[in-house]
Amino acid sequence: MKKGVLILVDKLKAAGAENLAVNIAIKLKDSSRYVPVVCATRSGGESEERLKANNVEYFLLHREHPYQFYKFSLLRKILKEYNIQVIHTHKMGSNFWGSIVGRIARTRVILGHVHGQVRGWKNIVVERIASNLSNKLIAVSESERQRIIREENIAPAKIVTIYNGIDLTKFRTTGDADIRHQFGLDITTPTIGISAELRSEKNHETFLLAAREVLKERRDPRFLIIGDGQERQKLEVFAVNLGITENCIFTGFIKNIPAMLSVLDVGVLSSTMEALPLTLLEYMAASKPIIATNVGGIPEIVQNGVNGFLFQPGDFMTLAEKIKLLLDQRSLAMEMGRNGRMLATQKFSEEAMMAKVEDLYTGMLEAVGE
């Protein structure tokens, strides 16, 4: 008989950590050992459509503020009704509440997935509580694993690194004609993109400043800001003030990311902090050269000079120089794209990730006794 796994997230929006949690749930539908149930403690979002399409059961608690403890009564019912043996939580809020509810309900295994997020002493205290209540933690990069050990004083044996994985079959290298038509991109138009939720730590300003520098020398490139978020209006005003709006396209939320990325010549990520961003794996799957900041787990993905370039946060001049280099040297850009696709196939496939996740479930259940 298959064992129930509860995938717990804060929201079902289409963002990095949330996408990964939903991907794990969908892949567990094919498992011979486990059956998934998804629960969002706060609200739904774009990922609900994917769960429905893949017949994955999910629930929403609709918590509107942190003190609505009574909302968790539904979660306890889910644990009992679906014979949940493993609670697999994602990000700080769900890691915290999932570990508490799991302990109260005496769930056999509680697994916290740490994706990396904005730091602060309150967050560290909350993470430390969740970490101590969980049976084991997954870090998405070795850099993040070391941070948890250092900041939360968690025993190294309690934390395992499992790299994020993606479905490589969804990505294509030839530009999607519909996307080109939708955004007015000619097949010869040099296109540079940043695919990330519009949040402050993604530091889109650096991307826009680099765009201004590139456009001082050539007027043909287009710079795509792919995604949506709370910083959008501020960034649009910033682009106006830089005088680059004619060459910038704010796409808003994009449902078909593989198609969107297929039209890029270069993929950029200018974050000030990251654990192991899915965006970079998606660039690699689409055979795009990467230019990304040298922070967190990014150097575990981007091999400088092999599948892309690294630069320091905020250094828009270096970013601009690397963009110009890749636009001028198309053979180098294509070689880096091929190298990235090869690395993604070897190290960051969804199959590799899921094998490690399922083996971890099984090992933990055996450790607590069948």
Measure the CA–CA gap between 44 and 50, rounded to whole angstroms.
Answer: 12
Furthest CA-CA distance within the chain = 66
Distances (CA, A) of 52 to 26, 27, 34, 258, 285: 10, 14, 18, 20, 25
Q: Would you state the pLDDT for residue 119?
A: 65
Closest CA to 26 of 42, 40, 5, 46: 5
Measured distance CA(12)–CA(23) in Å, rounded = 12
- Of 356, 164, 193, residue with least CA distance to 274: 164
Could you give the 3-state DSSP secondary structure of residue 276? Answer: coil
| The pLDDT of residue 147 | 87
Neighbours of 359 (CB within 10 A): 12
pLDDT of residue 132: 87
pLDDT tens digits for the chain (370 residues)?
Answer: 899 999 999 999 888 789 999 999 999 999 999 999 999 988 888 899 999 999 999 999 998 887 788 888 888 889 989 999 999 999 888 888 899 999 999 999 999 998 876 566 677 788 888 888 999 999 999 999 998 898 888 899 999 999 999 999 999 888 999 999 999 999 999 999 999 999 999 999 999 999 999 999 999 999 999 999 999 999 999 999 999 999 999 999 999 999 999 999 999 999 999 889 999 999 999 999 999 999 999 999 999 999 999 999 999 999 999 999 999 999 999 999 999 999 999 999 999 999 999 999 999 999 887 5
Q: How far apart are CA 243 and CA 215, in angstroms?
A: 10
Helix or strand holding residue 7 (H, E): strand 3-11
DSSP designation for 69: G
* Type of residue numbered 182: Q
How does DSSP classify residue 295? -
Taking the C-alpha atoms of residue 135 and residue 159, their distance in angstroms, rounded to an integer, is 9
User: What integer pLDDT is reported at residue 221 of this predicted model?
Assistant: 97
**Which letter does DSSP use for residue 13 in this model?**
-
The alpha carbons of the chain give a radius of gyration, in whole angstroms, of: 21
For the chain, list the domains and their CATH numbers.
3-165+349-368 (3.40.50.2000), 168-347 (3.40.50.2000)
Cβ neighbors of 27 (< 8 A, separation 6 or more) are 350, 354
For residue 262, what pLDDT is reported?
97
d(CA 245, CA 254): 20
Model confidence pTM above 0.85: yes
